Amino acid sequence: MKGRFVLGSASPRRADLLRQFGIPFEVIPSDLPETLPPGPPAEAVTALALAKARAVASRLADAVVLGADTAVVLEGKAFGKPETPEEARRMLQALRGREHLVITAVALVKAPAGPEAATHVVSRVLMRDYSDAEVEGYLASGEPFDKAGAYAVQGAGGALVADVQGCYTNVVGLPLTTTRRLLEAWGVIGTRGSS
């Protein structure tokens, strides 16, 4: 690939997942507010991922920028990252013993202003019927506070999860199969067998 490839996200989890492709990339966070626009959750998550990628691409001359955003959705309501312990507690209590969706959108933008592409992946997650004491212990760990839905499936929060249906890395924050397909289509990485 010619030119730069940039991850427009400060998420260390996304960077760790992207490293699995074995391609060089830079990290330039978008610094956009993590606020979902109004609308159906899948559309809102996709719009925010695109906005993040566009914000970074607008500052660069020649690069492909990957933006991503993840939301936890329970009965049509999207949960972003909690800002307070009380908000995290409410999210975890609402999710307890119930199934929810995790939607991650992935967007690519060619700097500085296009072309662009975006898609999203949906996984289903069933939470255990965990106790209030478990919630308090998890809050005390500090882990919930930069995670959509107030939990990290790949961290200590995995103990709160009963089952994941669909793409596991989507729940972590970057659906690898879908991301690879996009990157192959854009020539960022070679197709399987030639990379």
Q: Which of 69, 129, 146, 163 is catalytic?
A: 69
> For the chain, what are the domain ranges?
4-185
Q: Which residue has the tokens 């060619």?
A: 110
- Average pLDDT for runs of 10 along the chain of length 195: 84 94 94 86 95 95 94 92 94 97 97 91 98 97 92 95 97 96 92 51
38 CB-contact burial (10 Å; exposed 0-12 / middle 13-18 / buried 19+) = exposed
pLDDT for the residue 3: 72
pLDDT at 191: 67
Contact 107, 50 (CB under 8 A): yes
CB neighbour class for 90 (10 Å; exposed up to 12, middle 13-18, buried from 19): middle
pLDDT at site 80: 86
Contact assessment for residue 28 and residue 6, using Cβ atoms and an 8 Å cutoff: yes
Query: pTM for the full model?
Result: 0.91
Position 194 scores a pLDDT of: 42
Q: Which fold has domain 4-185?
A: Maf protein (3.90.950)
- List residues bridging with 19 in a β-sheet: none
Tokens of 130: 């965990």
Q: What per-residue confidence (pLDDT) applies to 113? A: 81
146 is catalytic: no
Number of other CB atoms surrounding residue 86 within 10 Å = 10
Residue 166 CB partners (closer than 8 Å, separation 6+): 121, 122, 123, 124
> Residue 98's CB: how many other CB atoms inside 10 A?
12
pLDDT for position 112: 86
